[in-house]
Structure 1
Amino acid sequence: MEKPLDVLVIGGNRYVGKRLIARLLTEGHRVTVLNRGSSPPPAGAEHLLADRDDERSLTGALGSRAYDVVVDQVCYTPRQAVIARRVFAGRTRRYVMTSTVEVYEYEDSPAPLREEALAPATVPVDLDLPWDDPVFAEAHYGEGKRQAEAVLAGGGAAFPCATVRMAHVLGGDDDFTGRLAHYAERIRTGEPIAVPTVNRPATYVYVEEAARFLAWAAGEDFTGPVNAAAPGALSTEELCEAVAAHVPGGRVVFRPVRVGEVSPFSFRRSYGMDGARAAGLGFGFTDARRWLPRAVAETLGKGD
């Protein structure tokens, strides 16, 4: 970094987001956090209050402000992307959207997927779907991100944008998802863990490296999608072994199911991500098996 950046972080003031903000501040950047007031930003960051779903609210809060880079942690739907593109065109030289591995949810590939497996320009956008319905949006999380990527990519050279396709995040004592706790409870009681009859491994990323990658990406100039994933796909069995190490006397029992709901980190499709582009751009992720024990220990309250 040659000089401090003016960075706007939209939402994300917890978990990965709070680590991102802390890193940016530690690195000497000027940070503004925009949210609806659900939580204040850390000391040293400016705070703007706005509803990012309301274009008038957003433009009113921003006033005449402009930024070197906007990192959008909470763009989930194409409607939100349309508003973001309109509001930030001309206000920032670079826009970074946190996307997800779930954009590949329709794929089934034995080989890790490169970014070109999903070109945003090929994704049809339907703004008339009920994206404002929280139940619908949650049920169509991957599709919402796919279409949001497509909207942002449509800005072309006039709206330089990178979309970070984040792998499943693990680690931290503030993991609010409850996914590892799901396994810990079943292992403690010996209750069977539901997995597909053919259970595919998946790619993951350590929470600290996820934040470090976003902070690094804010200062770069690449555009387009990039996978953020640690090398080394993990199976449900490996995750459960790591969890079982912290559950004395527990038993890991799997129950294969052909149809119906399965445990959080069990997958019928194979859509692990290839991290070659991130490495080629200059960022190296640590192999998942090196940080997995630490990540599980942190989340289960046994970290150091």
Structure 2
Amino acid sequence: MDVCVIGGSRYFGRRLIGHLRDAGVRVTVLNRGSTAPPAGVEQLCADRNDEAALRAALGERRFDVVVDQVCYTPVQAAIAARVFAERTRRYVLTSTVEVYAETGEAPVREEAVDPSVWPVDLALPWGHPDLVEAHYAEGKRQAEAVLTRAGGFETAIVRTAHVVGGADFTGRLAHYVRQIERGEPVRVHADPQPASFVQEEEIARFLAWTAAADFTGPVNAASDGALDVRELCAAIGRVVGVEPVLETGAQEGAAESSPYSFERCYAMDNGRARRLGFEFSSVAGWLPQVIKEARA
């Protein structure tokens, strides 16, 4: 199998590349070249936002599968759809639980957001970083919609839960570990809602599995067992040996200082992945080790 990974220079993207390579897959990484790829992996350098440069970097190459780790807007998706039409038979988009932010359903299932009918507005200034950051979830929803409706390849969408563990550059879990170890109060919402999580190694394995699969459409990628921020803090407290101090704050302040405290439920139903043949592990099984890693 010949796979192109767009992005993949950090976090679980590098693990994904390693899984594919170690399984005997020929892997090509396409990114801006700021980080060298792992040994045995080819690298193509281009800015994915520049369609002409992207076409030039690819030349006549074709792939069995493209795994897109860094598509955040419908404009990026539209460029990819044009460039990779007839260059690949399968396109895997790494998406996010954030697409469910406005649904209110719990636990959320894939059909809550249908990319085949989601409205797309390519005229918005998607090239502006502030817009992309402020409308991250909507950018992902519209990117899903563009790729789902594209011709020339089949599309699978992996909606990831909150990824923790390993080389987590966000520092969100480490933030809680530091505060609890120091005995500092953790601010939470008055009624925090549960969220799903997935371990870095497991989401990389799932993406590699998805690349070799043949299903289409969205699939939730989450470990069994959702946690709210109070339960997460209790688990951290058991590992570090300190009783967490929780402080209820104003909703806005709590959200700013406590990144896993949510007003909405972000628990995901992973039943479709199971029916397709992938069994996720339980968050209770891997969380203690991930907390220990976050202490380092």
TM-score tier by shorter-chain length is: over 0.9
Kindly state the Cα deviation for residue 186 of structure 1 after the two structures are TM-superposed: 1.8
**Match of 2:21?**
25
Q: 2:213 aligns with which of 204, 220, 242?
A: 220
1:207 corresponding residue in structure 2: 200
Per the alignment, residue 79 of structure 1 pairs with 75
Count the aligned residue pairs: 293
**Equivalent in the alignment of 2:189:** 196
Which residue in the other structure is 1:264 paired with? 259
Q: Is the 8 A contact 1:203 1:232 kept in 2?
A: yes
1:169-184 equivalences under 5 Å are: 169-172=163-166, 174-184=167-177
Taking structure 1 as the reference length, what is the TM-score of the superposition?
Answer: 0.93
Q: Give the secondary-structure state (helix, strand or coil) at the position aligned to 1:198.
A: coil
Structure 1 runs of 4+ off > 6 angstroms? Answer: none
Q: 1:281 to 1:167 in 2, by over 3 A?
A: same
Equivalent-residue separation in structure 2 for 1:285 and 1:33 (angstroms): 27
Q: How far apart are 1:121 and its partner, in Å? A: 2.2
Residue 117 (structure 1) aligned with residue 109 (structure 2): no
Please report how far the alpha carbon of residue 176 of structure 1 lies from its aligned counterpart in structure 2 after TM superposition. 1.0
Offset from partner CA, 1:257-281 (integer Å, 9 cap, x none):
3431321111101131111110111
* In 2, Cα distance between equivalents of 1:122 and 1:62: 31
* Equivalent of residue 98 in structure 1, options 94, 119, 123: 94
C-alpha separation in 2, matches of 1:81 and 1:9: 14
Please tell me whether the aligned partners of residues 161 and 197 of structure 2 are also in contact (alpha carbons under 8 angstroms). yes
Question: What are the Cα deviations for residues 226-260 of structure 1, in whole angstroms up to 9, with x where unaligned?
Answer: 00011110121222123224545x44122223431
Shift of 1:128: 2.2
Secondary structure at the counterpart of residue 217 of structure 1: helix
Superposed displacement of residue 106, structure 1: 0.6
- SS in structure 2 opposite 1:120? coil
List aligned pairs for 1:129-278, cutoff 5 A.
129-155=124-150, 158-172=152-166, 174-248=167-241, 250-261=242-253, 262=255, 263-278=258-273
Query: Which consecutive residues of structure 2, in runs of 5 or more, have no partner in the other structure?
Result: none
Specify every segment of 5 or more residues in structure 1 that has no aligned partner in the other structure, as ranges: none
| Percent of residue pairs bearing the same amino acid type | 59
- Taking the aligned partners of 1:186 and 1:193, their CA distance within structure 2 comes to 7
Name the aligned partner's letter for residue 232 of structure 2.
Answer: L
1-side partners of 2:91 and 2:174: how far apart? 35
* C-alpha distance in 2 between matches for 1:185 and 1:236: 15
Deviation string, structure 1 residues 51-110 (Cα, Å, up to 9, x no partner): 00110110000000000000000001111000000000100000000000000011222x
What is the distance in 1 between the residues matched to 2:149 and 2:116?
Answer: 7
Give yes or no for the alignment of 1:62 onto 2:58: yes
Letter aligned with residue 252 of structure 1: P
Provide the residue aligned with 2:290 in structure 1. Answer: 295
2:47 corresponds to which of 31, 47, 51:
51
Distance 2:224 2:280 in 1: 7
Give the partner amino acid of 1:293: P
Aligned-partner Cα distance in 2 for 1:185–1:294 = 16
Larger deviation, residues 255-264 vs 23-32: 255-264
Q: Aligned-residue CA RMSD in angstroms?
A: 1.3
Matched to 1:255, the amino acid is: E
TM-score, scaled relative to structure 2:
0.95
1:127 maps onto 2:157 in alignment:
no
| Aligned partners of 1:107 and 1:271 also within 8 Å | no
**SS where residue 186 of structure 1 aligns?**
helix
User: Aligned residue for 2:30?
Assistant: 34
